[in-house]
Chains A and B, each alone.
Chain A
Amino acid sequence: MAERIDLNLKVNGADHSVSVHPFARLLDVLREDLRLTGTKEGCGEGECGACSVLLNGRVVNSCLVPAVQAQGAEVVTVEGLAEGENLSSLQAAFLVHNGAQCGFCTPGMLVSATDLIHRCPNPSDDEIRDGLAGNLCRCTGYAKILDAVHTAAEREAAR
């Protein structure tokens, strides 16, 4: 097996070439090689959703994706949700509704919610819950996260 593998991928709009261990996970490449530490590891087993990122437009648990599988792929992390200092509607709604407490699930939650709103522009409460079912939070009882996603979805729909 090769010692290192050359990996080319686009993250948050920027091209990157990194040399990675064959066992590296997409999460490791993002956090350690690219120092995009907004993406968190909560369990490393695909159960908590803290490491959610968009891979070619679909939400994945980056702890379960071998980095080599992201060859040539386009990845969006929490750092890529805002445009410069302009927060996305979802991020702005999280501020207004106090959607983050400890903040550790927040990046994954935002990424999953972004994916949800893209897939399902006018989501019902059930659809939002379905879209966030893979993201665990222990601080908020999900209440203010749901409020924030509702608000952001309404704003997006009104555009």
Chain B
Amino acid sequence: MDHKIVGKNTQRLDAVAKVTGRAMYTDDFFERDMLVGKVLRSPHAHARVTRIDASKAKALPGVVAVLTPADLPKIKFATAGHPWSLDPGHRDVEDRLILTDKARFVGDAIAAVVAEDLLTAEKALHLIEVEYEVLPHVLTAEDAMQEGAPLLHENRPGNIVSSFGVQFGDVEAEFQNAEVIFEGDYETSIVQHCHIESMSAYAFVDSDGRVVVNSSTQIPHIVRRIVAQALGLSWGRVKVIKPYIGGGFGNKQDVVVEPLTAAMSLAAGGRPVRYCMTREEVFIDTRTRHGMKLHLKTALSRDGKLQGIHMQVLSNTGAYASHGHSIAMSAGGKFRPLYDFRAIKYEPKTVYTNLPVAGAMRGYGTPQIFFALESHLDDIARKLELDPIELRRKNLIKLGHQDPLTKNVVRSFGIPECIEKGKELIHWEEKKQAHQGQTGHLRRGLGMACFAYASGTHPVALELAGARIVMNQDGSVTLQVGATEIGQGSDTVFAQITAETLGLPVDMVHVVTTQDTDITPFDSGAYASRQTFVTGIAVRKAALEVRQKVLEVAARRTGLAPAEMDLRDRMIVETSLGRTVCSLGDVAMDSFYDRLLAAPITSDTSANVRINAMSYGATFVEVEVDIQTGRVEVTELWNIHDSGTIINPKLAEGQVHGGVSMSLGAALLEQMLFDPVTGKPLNPNLLDYKLPTVLDTPKINAAFVETFDAAGTFGSKSLGECPTISPAPAVRNAVMDATGVAFHKIPLYPQVVFEKFREAGLLAERSVQHV
């Protein structure tokens, strides 16, 4: 299809604001006489508060309020950023209080201070007297499930939050009849989002008595509901504003600071209170990515046809459920529309422990599942002496595949082309030849891994998106969406969809980027790679309605039927002749000022999207491994994606670069560390937590195989989370190719790698050579 704007590198709408420092983030707004909030946190991993005395803190000059659990409603609420479920059986787990009198991890929030300045607030924290009854704690999922283990929450026996799995086919029969059975164990570590903007909010009560919360969030409409629920307010009394957001990656798909910040303002008589977390607090008391342990057992034929798989997953969700109950379940479904198994048994267990809370993070558990599966496939290929690429190709599902459980249909399937393209781009065969017979301490290897992902959450959850377009007098339009621009570029993509539909240049589409739940239409927010796909459908629907209304006004002017005209370059054109009949500006002025027929052209619509589209892709990577130091360097990397039609190639590449770098961080560097005895975090800062710097990041190459998916706007599918899935297992497989050593846990930190090489005798070989 021939597009004027879709598929082009439209410059980000917010680019100028961002390079000049004018873009305003939550912390950049100052209210008159703004107060600051600080939080007192538990020093113990598990403890009951037996006495709390805030009188000295309250007496400190400059302190406006001190909050303890006794000062707040005892309403347990769920923090996960999902649409509310009318079915009580599908609700998120309500296990959290704004402040707790039972600490469940080191850093759990016990009390809070509101003061005139930060120094006073910090001083006041030290004056709050708390006595704890320290309880035994558990840090690993295995320990937490042991009989007699301390329980974190009363109503969860065995500390199990969720163990809901799926199965189809007869996996036991497949194992009985299999020519070959393989088993393997894999493990991923706890990592963190590390958005550069902290978790931050400020709140006040406005002159109408409404609670206004300005927050750095991916989910303003959900924040509104949860703040109201947590504080026992009517939902309409809360108003949430989202300005520019300095990165979220899933951490801000959760309600973290907003209920407390609102409570602080209410305690201070409605005065504005800011609560901006320190970086240490962001590490400790926001969310993390679940560390998972996976056991895979696979039945297959000797020539590599996969038949059945039994996947057992142990997911450590930390002290509160957050998204824990849904992540393991959701992530386990993503490989089904990729590889063709006759039988699958998927058994996840998500378990509470006394660690920081795990929640949503780019990929929503899928990176962990694919790390295990794609490592496992390479282990199988190696044992059976099969080509790892051929093994995957042989087992791909086919276009038109319908998932037996979700009923989602695969309407576009570019993974075979992605694999072919990746192989060519990295010169797989040539490099394989060149790597033959390496003996030195620097060894190169090649690895690849595939993935599949969804576009939004259908059919598991509601996928509702709102869009509103108002045509202005000059023929430009103002677009409001409830979806959330958090840096990924969604506002620009929505402007492109609107401009394409209305025959407008992009600079005549004014997108309201600030979300205000009083004003902008309802939408659940930025997550699940849903925005271009789900909200795009709503935007396209609104633009088509505006287009129709424009043509109706033009019909009045021209006497032509609406169907005989088209919108091109701000003009109304008689389609058959290509003749301009009037300008869009004329139509717009009529719509506002015609004495008889004036009615401004608007659309205020929503789309309840009950369809999904699978996205696919693969990573191809070459690494150089230093046997003597354990250092793994990525020397070449390609991420190839089938995300349907690419609406903005440059923005899409940006998503790939960032997603790949996050996966490489998890593969090679990043890991939150805890004292195994006390559960205290050991590296909650950006120095000791090894977020990749520009020196650690290799050149990342992005490529696309553009399919057309009939379900998506202009044929588009999801991309945002996709790049974060396959790089880690591809790197792991490349290290195995280079050295023959199979790693089963990430990150491949030099020390771990070095120790394993020594164990495997690689270093001994070298010392013999030296003798």
Contact = CB atoms under 8 A, between A and B. Distances in A.
Interface of A: 23, 31-32, 35-45, 47-48, 50, 77-79, 81-82, 87, 91, 94-107, 110, 129-130, 132-146
A137 B11 contact: no
Contacts of B197: 40, 42, 102, 104
B686 A138 contact: no
Contact of A139 (B9, B27, B278, B658): B658
B658 A95 contact: no
Nearest to B247: A102
B370 interface: no
A106 B693 contact: no
B570 interface: no
Contacts of A38: 20-22
B16 A95 contact: yes
B710 interface: no
Interface stretch (B57-65, B424-432, B484-492, B760-768): B484-492
Among B14, B18, B248, find the residue whose CB has the most chain A CB atoms closer than 10 A: B18
B650 interface: yes
B19 interface: yes
B21 A102 contact: no
B195 interface: yes
A130 B249 CA distance: 27
A103 B23 contact: yes
B691 A138 contact: yes
B8 interface: no
Interface in B675-699: 685-687, 691, 693-695, 697, 699
Contacts of B697: 141-143
B237 interface: no
A101 B720 CA distance: 12
Among A77, A135, A136, A143, find the residue whose CB has the most chain B CB atoms closer than 10 A: A143
Given A102-B246, A130-B695, A40 B279 contact: no
B658 A94 contact: no
A131 B506 CA distance: 35
CB-based closest 9 A-B pairs: A38-B21, A102-B487, A104-B246, A141-B661, A103-B18, A141-B657, A78-B21, A37-B28, A47-B686
B193 A138 contact: yes
Contact of A144 (B17, B244, B654, B695): B654
A48 B20 contact: no
Contacts of A110: 19
A41 B27 contact: yes
B119 interface: yes
Contact of A35 (B30, B244, B247): B30
A91 B20 contact: yes
B22 to A, nearest CB: 7
Q: B-side binding surface: helix, strand, loop or mixed?
A: loop
A43 to B, nearest CB: 4
16 contacts: A35-B30, A37-B25, A38-B22, A44-B279, A78-B19, A87-B20, A104-B25, A104-B195, A107-B21, A110-B19, A136-B693, A140-B654, A141-B657, A141-B700, A144-B657, A146-B694
A130 B696 CA distance: 11
B691 A136 contact: yes
A23 B278 contact: no
Contacts of A23: 119
Contacts of B695: 129-130, 133
Given A42-B196, A87-B20, A133-B695, A98 B25 contact: no
Among B24, B119, B244, B694, find the residue whose CB has the most chain A CB atoms closer than 10 A: B694
A41 B25 CA distance: 11
A77 B20 CA distance: 10
Contacts of B650: 97-98, 144
Nearest to B691: A136
B274 to A, nearest CB: 11
Given A41-B198, A138-B195, 7 more contacts: A98-B15, A136-B693, A138-B247, A138-B249, A141-B659, A141-B660, A143-B657
B12 interface: yes
B699 A143 contact: yes
A94 B17 CA distance: 12
Among A96, A129, A137, find the residue whose CB has the most chain B CB atoms closer than 10 A: A137
B706 interface: no
Among B194, B654, B660, B697, find the residue whose CB has the most chain A CB atoms closer than 10 A: B654
B245 A102 contact: yes
B343 interface: no
Given A100-B15, A104-B247, A133-B695, A139 B20 contact: no
B285 interface: no
Contacts of B651: 98
Contacts of A133: 693-695
B35 to A, nearest CB: 14
A18 to B, nearest CB: 15
B723 to A, nearest CB: 9
Nearest to A107: B21
Contacts of A137: 196, 694
Interface in B695-742: 695, 697, 699-700
Interface in B224-282: 244-249, 278-279
A134 B693 CA distance: 8
A145 B653 CA distance: 12
B693 to A, nearest CB: 5
Given A23-B119, A103-B246, A103-B487, A136 B196 contact: yes
A137 B247 CA distance: 10
Contacts of A138: 193-196, 247, 249, 658, 661-662, 691
A126 B278 CA distance: 32
Contact of B278 (A44, A79, A136): A44
B694 A37 contact: no
Given A50-B196, A138-B249, A146-B694, A98 B19 contact: no
Interface string B178-206: 00000000000000011111100000000
B108 to A, nearest CB: 22
B654 A95 contact: no
Contacts of A99: 19
Contacts of B691: 136, 138
B19 A87 contact: yes
A146 B657 CA distance: 12
Contacts of A143: 653-654, 657, 697, 699-700
Given A95-B11, A104-B246, A140 B658 contact: yes
Among B198, B657, B659, B660, find the residue whose CB has the most chain A CB atoms closer than 10 A: B657
B195 A102 contact: yes
Contacts of A44: 278-279
A104 B22 contact: no
Nearest to A99: B19
Interface string B512-549: 00000000000000000000000000000000000000
A35 B24 CA distance: 11
Contacts of A100: 12, 14-15, 18-19
Contacts of B279: 42-45, 47-48
Nearest to A98: B650
